[in-house]
Chains A and B, each alone.
Chain A
Amino acid sequence: MTLVASRPVTLADNPWVRFGLRRAARLVVSVWVLVTAAFLMIHVLPGDPVRAALGPTAPLALIEQRREALGFNDPLWLQYLHYLGNLVTGDLGVSMTSGLPVSEVISARLGSTVEMALLAFAVAVVVSVPLGTLMTVLARHGGRRGGDWFLTSAGVVVATIPEFLMAVGLVFVFSVQLGWFPVAGRSGPDSYVLPVLSLAIGPAFILARIVRVELLAVMQTDYIRTARAKRLRATAVYLRHALPNALTATLTIGGLLLGALVAGTVLIENIFAWPGLGGTIVQSILAKDYPTVQGVVLVYGIGVLLINLVVDLALALLDPRSAIRES
């Protein structure tokens, strides 16, 4: 019938497998770029990082000894290979200031950063979806447009305020004036409230706005008209038919926000003296503790890449056509 001989169907023909492979390949390339950037970061620095770390008064002999110990006298490609080799074994080097292995410093502090970021993201999502839906309902059912207008405008203003200013404002109101929450530190559950809120409020309003815009668009579609023609309850039309379709875009933006939220933790941790990686990176930058900076940059970078991967996978599950089309 056809001249083309039919090939046996292999695993590689499965669109899901191909999608997975593509994503995995992209992750590997991104991680490689990240690792290389982190390695080169120290070597494109103007001046000698060891001298910078030890200070201008350090004796030359000590500097030379340190350089030798850190392998700085090797050719660049050899240092790169060593660096990659050490990474594979989980060796991130030794902090120039504390003398502790960087991997130990990171593992001691990573948890509280992840905890804060995830909590804030959860709060943002939990607040934004109902809020955005409420705004849509208000916008669509005449007579109550004022409510939608108010929430939309308030959202625009609140979303403009960066998280660290939000934190300052919250600390002023709730710690200084009202004395409800501690001003800094991580102790009991109440110490979580202000840091998490500072991080979550902006993204919550941005997400709510996306939910509203997407939901309004979805409510105009033919299949929503079909759902209404089936005389489903309004809640079923919104929750079962409209929201899942509106959440695809929301999730994409949400993923980007989660990435930005990770960056925001750096500031928030410094404001609230939170024992996480954000404090570590700023202190080590100021102290010129480059192995630690390298390690923390890697951890943040890989965190962002993983978030993007999860968003891509979730999108593929929600909207299989996009994944299959791409592969």
Chain B
Amino acid sequence: MAAPLGNVPDDLTPASPDKSPDASTPTSLNTPDPLDTVAPLDTVAPLNKPALLNAPASPDAPPRARAGRRWTGALHSPLGITAAVLLLAVVVLAIVAPLIWQDRADAVNSTAILQGPSSAHLVGTDLLGRDIFARVLVATRLSVGLALLATAIGVTAGLLLGTAPVLLASSTGHWIGRWVSRWISAFINIAVAFPSLLLALFFAVIFGVGARGAVLAIGFATAPGFARLTQTMAAGISSRDFIAAARVAGIGRLRILVRHVLPNIAEPLVVSATMALGSALLSFASLSFLGLGVQAPSYDWGRLLGEGLAQIYVHPAGALAAGVAVVLAAMAFNLSGEAVARAIGVRTPHTSKQTRNKRTRTNERTRTTPGLDRLPAEHPDTEDTNQPLLAVDNLRVAFPTAAGEVTPVRGVSLTMRPGEAIGIVGESGSGKSLTALAIAQLIERPGHAQADRLEFLGTDLRDDARSRGGEQLRAGGGLSASERRRMLGTSLAMVFQDPMTSLNPTHRVGRQLAEVVREHQRADRRTAWRRAVDRLAAVRIPDAERRAKQLPHEFSGGMRQRAMIGMGVMANPKLIIADEPTTALDVTVQRQVLQLLANIRAAEDVGLLFISHDVTVVGQVCDRVLVMYAGRVVEDLPTGALLHDARHPYTRALVAAVPDMTTDRDAPLAVIPGRPPDPHDLPAGCPYATRCPLATEQCRREDPPLAWYGGGRRVACWHADLAPAAVPDNRATAVPDNRTTELDHGSTAVPDDEPAASLGGER
């Protein structure tokens, strides 16, 4: 690695894995995925993939199996049962109603014209004294039958149109095929732009007024939408590997379509067809209602509705009965489609967007262990007389899940002096990011953070008191809610991991910065803008005046992260919480951002809480390091002690896993064998015991508390007194001595005008 930042790369595939038959599993501090690249030959720590990380089923496996069971699965929801009952009623009525009530429906009775509901006529009679209820029931067959016919035409035409481009378009295809397919696509695109009722009216002109014309009209009006759906899905399937394999095998295009493509899109197509049936029913009712569909003396629901509407003043029940029938039948088909879609996991327009909201931070979840020791926050010997910048005691973050509440952060305590820089390191899932969010009071429902103490600049940040109902009673430290909001807005700055997504894509960068002082310091527009430009220049954004007017997507990743930092220093921050601020950036840009943070800290005496998976970066930036494991702090030590005097075996393993310039590149990378504990099954004792070379019976039985260890250090290990030299080396390579200087130098603030490269510690 040219830049000796000692960064742990995301991909830890060894340079030559074949030379290392004894390689233990490489462990990236951040990503578990590279585990799959090297076979774990070391059986000391068998590789157990937690359930959370289960690889999804092979995406290219044709998903045809189990279809039947999944379809019936629709019946297990209230929605499915409702749909099934409605559907059954409609089908049964369509079959039996004309057999039973036909005579009654057609019996003209001039003595009972336009009667209201009575015991003889449930919803009354029409102009000729016929029983309306019977007519509505009998009309089921014609209404549903015509809708079925129209849908069948539409689906067939749609399938032909939609698969034609797939059949014809191919790089090897003849130009006529490509030309035709392009025109079909263009035609579909234009046709779907028109509402289907307008298309149906258009076709009704061509096919003529009457039931036959209306069936054809609605069928052809349905076709473009269905063609578009088929086309999109067929194109999606066609790009998959198993289709490519079939093509390579020389199977003809038509055969591929029939044997491989269509079966794989059949389920969503059937679901859509079911829903189209509901729409066709409504369209037919519309056309008949307008007099363009079924003609007298035949009648369907639309026609009954039209006849009823004419009498609505005299006899409203007539129109309403037909209306209710149409809505119920249409709902039967729509709900059936929706229920089946949900059961088989098809995305319909109604369900597709919602799944996006179910993104959860699964990786951060760990299970709580009851009976944790309360951890002292203050050092017992050196009681700090100055007010701490930040005091956190027994911070817990919990999320409700289907399997009960999980607690990814289980009692974190820390105290921070003004201007101090504290790093929090740990693997993915150790709870470090949630700790940062919880300190900033940014945990969102349904998650919740609790702490015995959470004070920033002497103000209690906990909002338990308010959310318990005493909204106006008090909001810690005597500040009202809005005062507290202003205090946090001006004094506490956050820098997040991904600068690409952390800025609002629709607002100009300058405006997003200016917003801070507009909101909290009541600055006028011009003052706020000038401040924003000034801050952008301060974070070394060239041509800040022009850049401020740009949207975030016009910025590079590094510039966006600097703009985020600039946003943090719009007011007068006392604490910057940076959550993996450099992880998403490339190495040279990382260095600039780290330097910027160090400069700001030095110049303004700002405290820095720096969260990272990268122990080396933390070593360069921070005075003190908290090492987190499975939701708890396992060691709290000064940066200087990190390299050679770490007490917790996990800390030592982290440090040892960092490669540098002198690492033997032919040797396998150093790793920590095993994996973090399964968040759903935390062991009774020390969570690190299964991976720890020092683990004893006691470790597996009792969880060690985070205890003071002298020199202002804390460590949670039963064997903290064992000298580092006595610790058996569980690593493949040794830590070279010359790393000492690097870390020691790095722990001080980086001078302003040093070249960026010096940050790496090559001095």
A residues bordering B, Cβ < 8 Å?
29-30, 33-34, 37, 41, 44-46, 140-142, 160-162, 164-165, 168-169, 171-172, 176, 183, 210, 213-214, 216-217, 220-223, 225-233, 236, 241, 244-245, 249, 259-260, 262-264, 266-267, 270-271, 281-282, 285-286, 290, 293, 297, 300-301, 304-305, 308, 318-321
Q: Which residues of B contact A164 (CB under 8 A)?
A: 285-286, 289, 305
Given known contacts A165-B326, A213-B353, is B502 in contact with A305 (CB within 8 Å)?
Answer: no
Q: Which residues of B contact A264 (CB under 8 A)?
A: 197
Q: Is the CB of B506 within 8 A of A231?
A: no
Q: How far is the CA of A227 from the CA of B309 in the complex (A)?
A: 54
Of the A-B pairs whose beta carbons lie under 8 Å apart in the complex, a sample of 28, sorted by A's number, is: A41-B202, A44-B206, A141-B445, A160-B334, A164-B305, A165-B327, A171-B309, A176-B313, A213-B354, A216-B357, A226-B564, A227-B504, A232-B489, A232-B515, A241-B504, A244-B506, A260-B197, A267-B197, A285-B201, A285-B205, A285-B292, A286-B209, A286-B292, A297-B205, A301-B194, A304-B193, A319-B505, A321-B505
Given known contacts A213-B357, A230-B516, is B498 in contact with A222 (CB within 8 Å)?
Answer: yes
Q: Which residues of B contact A45 (CB under 8 A)?
A: 205-206, 208
- Contacting chain A: which of B14-22, B39-47, B316-324? B316-324
Q: Is the CB of A221 within 8 A of B201?
A: no
B residues bordering A, Cβ < 8 Å?
186-187, 190, 193-198, 201-202, 204-206, 208-209, 282, 285-286, 289-292, 305, 308-309, 312-313, 316, 319-320, 323, 326-327, 330-331, 334, 353-354, 356-357, 359, 440, 442, 445-446, 485-486, 488-489, 493-494, 496, 498, 501-507, 515-516, 519-520, 551, 553, 564, 567
Chain B, Cβ-Cβ closest to A213: B353
Q: Is the CB of B445 within 8 A of A282?
A: no
Chain B, Cβ-Cβ closest to A236: B519
Q: Is the CB of B290 within 8 A of A305?
A: no
Q: Which residues of B contact A321 (CB under 8 A)?
A: 505, 553
Q: Is the CB of B327 within 8 A of A300?
A: no
Q: How far is the CA of A168 from the CA of B321 in the complex (A)?
A: 11
Q: Is the CB of B445 within 8 A of A140?
A: yes
Q: How far is the CA of A29 from the CA of B334 in the complex (A)?
A: 35
Chain A, Cβ-Cβ closest to B197: A263
Q: Which residues of B contact A223 (CB under 8 A)?
A: 501-505
Selected contact of A305 from candidates B193, B308, B326, B353, CB within 8 Å: B193
Q: How far is the CA of A62 from the CA of B592 in the complex (A)?
A: 90
Q: How far is the CA of A275 from the CA of B359 in the complex (A)?
A: 51
Q: Which residues of B contact A222 (CB under 8 A)?
A: 496, 498, 501-502
Q: How far is the CA of A161 from the CA of B327 in the complex (A)?
A: 6
Q: Is the CB of A46 within 8 A of B445?
A: no
Q: Is the CB of B327 within 8 A of A226?
A: no
Q: How far is the CA of A225 from the CA of B564 in the complex (A)?
A: 12
CB distance from A243 to the nearest CB of B (A): 10
Q: How far is the CA of A270 from the CA of B326 in the complex (A)?
A: 19
9 A-B pairs besides A223-B504, A230-B515 with CB distance below 8 A are A45-B208, A46-B208, A213-B354, A225-B502, A230-B519, A231-B486, A249-B353, A286-B291, A293-B205
Chain A, Cβ-Cβ closest to B282: A162
Q: Is the CB of A259 within 8 A of B286?
A: no
Chain B, Cβ-Cβ closest to A245: B506
Q: Which residues of A contact B309 (CB under 8 A)?
A: 168, 171, 271
Given known contacts A213-B353, A223-B502, A281-B201, is B187 in contact with A33 (CB within 8 Å)?
Answer: yes
Give the residue among B195, B494, B498, B553 with the most A Cβ atoms within 10 A: B195
Q: Which residues of A contact B308 (CB under 8 A)?
A: 168
Q: Which residues of B contact A300 (CB under 8 A)?
A: 198
Q: Is the CB of B567 within 8 A of A230?
A: yes
Chain B, Cβ-Cβ closest to A44: B206
Chain B, Cβ-Cβ closest to A267: B286
Q: Is the CB of A270 within 8 A of B290?
A: yes
Q: Is the CB of B445 within 8 A of A226?
A: no
Q: How far is the CA of A161 from the CA of B320 in the complex (A)?
A: 13
Q: Which residues of B contact A293 (CB under 8 A)?
A: 205
Given known contacts A29-B186, A33-B190, A297-B201, is B331 in contact with A160 (CB within 8 Å)?
Answer: yes
Q: Is the CB of A285 within 8 A of B496?
A: no
Q: Is the CB of A169 within 8 A of B502?
A: no
8 tightest A-B contacts by CB? Answer: A231-B489, A263-B197, A263-B195, A229-B494, A222-B501, A213-B353, A223-B504, A260-B195
Give the residue among A30, A164, A176 with the most B Cβ atoms within 10 A: A164
Q: How far is the CA of A220 from the CA of B501 in the complex (A)?
A: 11
